[in-house]
Amino acid sequence: MGSTTLGAGAAPRVSAIPTVFFAQPDARTALVRFIVEGATAVAGRLRVFDRAHRQLGTAGVIGVGGRMLGELWLPLDRDTEIISELEMPQVRGVVRTMHGLSPRRRWTVYWMVAKEGSRPAGPEPEFLDHDEFLRVAQGVEPGAMMLDSTGLLERLATSPLVLAGSGVRWVGLRDARAPLARFASRDGSDVVAVAIADVGTAEGLGTNGGRNEMARRLEQWLDGPGSQLADESHAVSLMVGTATEDGTLAERIADWNSRYAYPRIVTGRPEELFGIIERRAPIATGGPGGRDGPGGPDGPGGMGEIERQTGDNAARAARVFEPLVTRLQASSPGLAAIAEQFAFATPSTLVVNPTPFAQTGIAVMPDGSERLVTDVPALGYLCLPHPGRPGAKAPPDAGRWVGVPGSDNDLTLDSRHFEIRIDRETGAIRSLVTRANGRQWVRRTGALNAAAGFRLVTIQKARNGEVGTRVIVTRTSGEGLPLVSSITVYEDLPWVDFSNERASDAGPTRYSFAFALERPTPSWEVPAGFEERPARAEIRRLVHLRWLRLVSGGDIVFFRGLDAPVASLTADGEILSQAPPRQSRYRLGFASGYSAADDPWRFGWGTEPLLTVPVPGTGRARLASYGSLLLVDQSGISVTELRKDRGGDGVVLFLQELTGVPRDITVGPGVLTFRGARRIDFLERDLGALPLLAGGGVSAPIRGYGITAIRLTGVELARG
């Protein structure tokens, strides 16, 4: 609607503009602003009438910056027409104008406070392991807004799960794609993100300047591109500050609301606003497990984070087994305290598995030899007797790698599972066939573990009777710096291991893995879950935690870069791994036909090495020779963290559902028993008791792809 001047065209022009302000008590009266242009007078009088020429009000207009301005409270609860008559000194007659007016939206402004310093830890969140990522909201109070200075929500799609599980529903986001959006995770958890560019301060609300200054600031905010959501039933806006000025903010807001029906200012009711936004705000998704850019280990945060992530597996084992160690009588610390508990007549080794899945793999014994160890229980251990007769001396090469004479020209590497051929020119793998089905896994025009510019110099084969066969390939480039690669296959294990080593000053290297897969669909593990993309998706930078999977029909490739989590993926499924200097290790697994939903996690956790400790054999047999700390025996459930309760002597568990099926999960006693259990949030705040089951277990609900945290109390060593 607009304004029409009645009379000569040279007369001053009068415009009427409804504002966002509505008066108490019923919001039927709105403040209308009048602007006079084309007049030279310094002041004038404006009278306003309805269509029946009943006078509605009179206002003075004052010259400001070449215009005259005035305001008047007028009835405006629907579209209406009014007539204004302007009188000015030394001007004969009046300027009569007809105006069509429409009321503005009736806004509710929610005021929230964000705590300074409540930011996720670490510059590169995608490099965090599960246990670290679950604590990114440390220090943020429930219901408060967390300032996300690293763009966490837009980098990891699992962020809403972790933040909501920590009591965070609001996030201030830098470089947001929208001023107000709802971010949801795969399990249904969600948070609301507000663009930090729109976040104000307490002073920005203008309370120190009184009602007029507050009115000016609020009108400016609502007329701008702030964090707003409006439809036919709601008009809400969010303002965020970092402090409450001098402590009188509540009093001044109450004074405001006593005068104005709208904009109404609301504090202390974030759930009310969250409910509105949850139903109406657009849902956004996170980024590809890292910034979508060329990236690499030498990019921002790359090298240091890679080296930190590939830290020592013993640190995780120490945290996992601390609840057991602290309940033992022992003279040694850590895992050695467990080894002291056994009494065996024959020499033995304690093999420890700190991962959430039972493992069969290669363990490096305390004497440096390597052995195949089967069925080490999840979050548990077993005592492994030394091979041979008691007192007999083992052969010097038992469990050790020994060169195969005459193999310096042998480009083959075979096992019970694979037939592998090395390229004579490049030293990369040009053929890898699974014996069970004859499937060729290398693309016809590609290779595996290929490094551009490198040429084969020497090749040597080695055997370990306890393990399998290994080929050591030496390659050089034009720079003359050698690249030594070992490729290992196992007689009893269905995977292939690679290790590439260069001098520490050689700089990063890119290795390519070109698989014979048609239009593969990629997915990969990230902190607290996984990411996936459609087939033929080109991903310029991704960071995988323990596994990267490519699926093409019934064929699946499992990949992990143990020291090289950063990779890119071409549209045809070629993995380009950005590897650091020194050592970069890889593991490949293959499947055709059936694959269980949790196989990627079993593969990924299976790349973590088993730990070994010598058993003195002089203990009092306080522990069984084989066991898990606790029992979680349902398929598709992973214990992402088990550790001592930070606030007491209990045990904290974080369990993740891997298949997308909501259900009740059970945790049973193992080497440790417990008398009580409580549900907690991710920052260990209590959420209430959980029901105990017959036999000493506990049951807890979990969402599909969700994470549930439990605190066990009354924890003791199992008797007998």
Rounded Cα distance between 557 and 578, Å, is 19
Nearest to 587 by CA among 596, 597, 598, 600: 600
Confidence at 41, pLDDT banded by 50, 70, 90: confident
Residue range 390-412: average pLDDT? 83
Q: What's the pLDDT band for 293 if we cut at 50, 70, 90?
A: very low
Q: What pLDDT band is residue 572 in, cutting at 50, 70 and 90?
A: confident
Decide if 217 contacts 205 (C-beta within 8 A).
Answer: yes
- Residue (of 148, 141, 133) closest to 192 by Cα position: 148
Give the Cα separation of 594 and 148 in Å (integer).
41
Mean pLDDT, residues 30-43 taken together = 92
Question: From residue 525, how far is each of 157, 214, 522, 560, 565 by CA, in Å?
Answer: 11, 49, 11, 10, 10
User: Which of the 8 DSSP states describes residue 597?
Assistant: T
pLDDT greater than 80 at residue 428: yes
Please give the average per-residue pLDDT across 641-652, as a whole number: 91
Q: What is the DSSP letter of 442?
A: B
Q: Provide the b/e sequence for 144-170 (b: ≥16 CB within 10 Å).
A: bbbbbebbbbbbbbbbbbbbbbbbbbb
Mean confidence (pLDDT) of the chain:
86
Average pLDDT for 622-633: 91
* pLDDT 10s digits, 582-618: 899 999 999 998 899 999 999 999 999 999 999 987 7
Measured on CA atoms in the order 500, 502, 504, 510, is the torsion positive or negative? negative
Question: How confident is the model at residue 318, as a pLDDT?
Answer: 92
Instruction: Kindly state the tokens that stand for 361.
Output: 């793999």
- Identify the weakest region by mean pLDDT among 282-296, 314-328, 672-686: 282-296
Q: Each residue of 72-128: pLDDT tens digit?
A: 999 999 999 999 999 998 778 899 999 999 999 999 888 776 654 344 445 578 888
| Global pTM value | 0.83
**pLDDT for 289 beyond 60:** no
- Residue 286: DSSP 8-state: -
pLDDT for residue 308 is more than 50: no
Amino acid identity, position 232:
E
Q: Are 100 and 1 in contact (CB under 8 A)?
A: yes
Task: Determine which of 64-68, 148-152, 583-587 has the lowest per-residue pLDDT on average.
Answer: 148-152
- Give the C-alpha separation, 123 to 288, whole Å: 16
Amino acid 225: pLDDT: 67
Per-residue confidence (pLDDT) for residue 235, from 0 to 100: 78
Pairing of strands 228-230, 235-241: antiparallel
- Tell me the C-alpha distance between 390 and 370, whole Å: 19
Q: Which two tokens stand for residue 378?
A: 């999840």
Cα 627 to Cα 81: distance, rounded to the nearest angstrom: 84
Of residues 437 and 192, the one with the higher pLDDT is 437
Q: Let me know: does 577 contact 513? Beta carbons within 8 Å.
A: yes
What is the reported pLDDT for 298? 41
pLDDT in tens, 253-279: 889 999 999 999 988 776 777 777 766
More confident residue, 707 or 209: 707
pLDDT of residue 426: 96
Question: Cβ of 698: how many Cβ atoms within 10 Å?
Answer: 23
What pLDDT digit, counting tens, does each position of 189-200 carry?
Answer: 988 887 654 444
Please give the DSSP secondary-structure letter assigned to residue 341. T
> Percent of the chain having pLDDT more than 90?
60
C-beta separation of 17 from 223 below 8 A: no
How far is 191 from 719, CA to CA, in rounded Å? Answer: 45
- Percent with pLDDT over 70 in the chain: 84
With a cut of 90, say whether residue 22 has pLDDT above it. Answer: yes
CA-based nearest residue to 284, from 135, 156, 124, 121:
156
Rounded CA gap, 238 and 611, in Å? Answer: 53
* Cα 543 to Cα 173: distance, rounded to the nearest angstrom: 21
Whether 485 has a pLDDT exceeding 70, the answer reads yes
- What are the strands, taking DSSP E only, across 533-582? 539-543, 548-552, 555-561, 566-569, 575-579
CB atoms within 10 A of CB 389: 8
Encoding tokens for residue 66? 């070449």
For residue 386, name the pLDDT band (cuts at 50, 70, 90): confident
Write the burial class of residue 434 (CB in 10 Å: 0-12 exposed, 13-18 middle, 19+ buried).
Answer: middle
Please determine, for residue 296, whether its predicted confidence score (pLDDT) is greater than 50.
Answer: no
The span from the CA of 573 to the CA of 519, in Å, is 7
Residue indicated by tokens 């007539």: 83
Does the pLDDT at position 55 exceed 90?
yes
Q: Which residue has the tokens 């007809």?
A: 98
Q: Are 711 and 678 in contact (CB under 8 A)?
A: yes
8 A C-beta contact, residue 432 and residue 418: yes
Higher pLDDT pick, 228 / 458: 458
* Structure-token pair, residue 154: 């837009």
Q: Which residues pair with 524 in a beta bridge?
A: 531, 548
pLDDT at res. 719:
82
Contact by Cβ (8 Å): 373, 361: yes
- What value does the mean pLDDT take over residues 474-489? 89
Q: In 3-state terms, what secondary structure has residue 19?
A: strand
Other C-beta atoms closer than 10 Å to the C-beta of 37 total: 11
Kindly indicate the confidence band of residue 297, based on its pLDDT and cuts at 50, 70 and 90. very low
Phi then psi dihedrals of residue 647, to 5 deg: -100, 5
Least confident of 74-88, 281-295, 330-344, 695-709: 281-295
Side-chain-facing half-sphere of 438: CA atoms under 13 Å: 0
Minimum mean pLDDT among 233-247, 466-480, 651-665: which range? Answer: 233-247
